[in-house]
Amino acid sequence: MKIITYNVNGIRAAVQKGFLEWLENTGADVVCLQEIKALHEQLPLLELSALGYEVYTYPAQKKGYSGVAILTKINPDRVVQGMQHAQHDAEGRVLRADFGDLSVLSVYFPSGSSGEDRQAVKMQFLADFSLYVENLKKERPYLVLSGDYNICHKAIDIHNPISNKNSSGFLPEERAWVDSFLAQGFVDTFRYFHADLAHQYTWWSYRANARTKNLGWRIDYHLVSANLQEKLLSCQILPDALHADHCPVLLELNI
């Protein structure tokens, strides 16, 4: 099973930049999208269907904001919107698809970069998401949590850790949350295969020619439950996809 996660920063804008043509060539079975910024009917449903994908979405209540989607060539047994938390669900941040014993989630964590209020929302989301997943594992123990976490875990995951030590997305308390979440029984699949590989990023600012200079952050992840570790085949970042300020990450599982 090939699973891609991709924050497209607006699906309609990404389509104008060749997203559909790129998608056709990936061979992906499941694609988790974040920040779709669109209602279900605003997605290119006919074109995606022609490529063999069923389309499931969970848009934010606020138009043109946030929202997640799952595109799948495999018919899911069940699709569940949200994490049963009114504040977070209003922003369209979690969508789950069940395939037999396996559950794949498209997740979009809040950003705290716009100020203290949103940073507080982000920290609350981290606590609530941990509890949600802890409970979900009792029912669905085989989990793939794919998405934009808006956190760089370690210094190797960010181009300038010293100057960004007080930046949202690299705060000590955010990084400590990743430590604790992995300790709940999850594997960072990219680092599982590439423990010491530096300068590997999934997001670049539009400012200062950051992408050309590769001044980026690794904030998009496939985290899988530890019981799937033996099923891991590969995980790679795909920086040549240029439809957004993020790039996709591809996970391959022997399922």
Q: Which residues are catalytic?
A: 148
C-alpha 108/C-alpha 147 separation (Å) is 6
3-state secondary structure of 87: helix
Q: Where are the alpha helices (DSSP H) in the chain?
A: 11-16, 19-26, 45-50, 86-89, 116-139, 172-183, 189-193, 210-213
Give SS3 for 201.
Answer: coil
Number of residues written out for the chain: 255
List beta partners, residue 236: 250
Structure tokens at 198: 């530096």
The strand pairing partners of 30, in sequence order, are 3, 72
Question: End-to-end CA distance of the chain, in Å?
Answer: 6
What's the helix, strand, coil split of the chain in %, to 5?
Answer: 35, 30, 40
